[in-house]
């Protein structure tokens, strides 16, 4: 169990989960995901309790999304924005 449970659980668990959420949101916002060429498409994947990916995980192709620059894009500019958003109470 990566973060443990109870009173001796990881003190950084909340921060780690928020950073994972921000990272995945950023990837989904910036890329269209599709199955890699030559890979068999599976409608559903079996969920497993793993923190890291398995070697036989879903192989994906990342295609950049081209959007017009707008107000929404400021959220993802800069490395420190995740922490700034948390400090401002957005997350």
> Does residue 21 belong to any structural domain of this protein?
no
> Does residue 12 belong to any structural domain of this protein?
no
Coil, strand or helix: which one is 48?
coil
Which of 62-70's residues contact partners 24+ apart within 8 Å by CB, and which partners?
62/27, 62/31, 62/32, 62/33, 63/31, 63/32, 63/33, 63/34, 64/30, 64/31, 64/32, 65/29, 65/30, 65/31, 65/32
Q: Which residue has the higher pLDDT, 17 or 45?
A: 17
* pLDDT tens digits along 38-82: 777 667 766 665 556 556 666 788 899 887 665 555 555 555 555
| pLDDT beyond 80 at 13 | yes
The total domain count for the chain is 1
Is pTM beyond 0.75 here?
no
Identity of the highest mean pLDDT range in 20-24, 34-38, 63-67: 20-24
Cβ neighbour number for residue 82 with a 10 Å cutoff: 21
> Does residue 56 belong to any structural domain of this protein?
yes
> Does residue 89 belong to any structural domain of this protein?
no
């Amino acid at each position: 169990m990566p973060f443990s449970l109870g009173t001796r659980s990881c003190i950084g668990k909340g921060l780690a989960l928020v950073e994972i959420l921000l990272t995945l949101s950023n990837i989904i916002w910036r890329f269209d995901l599709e199955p890699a060429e030559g890979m068999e498409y599976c409608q559903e994947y079996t969920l497993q309790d793993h923190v890291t990916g398995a070697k036989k995980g879903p192989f994906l192709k990342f295609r950049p999304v081209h959007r017009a620059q707008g107000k929404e894009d400021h959220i993802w500019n800069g490395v420190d924005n995740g922490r700034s958003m948390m400090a401002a109470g957005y997350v």
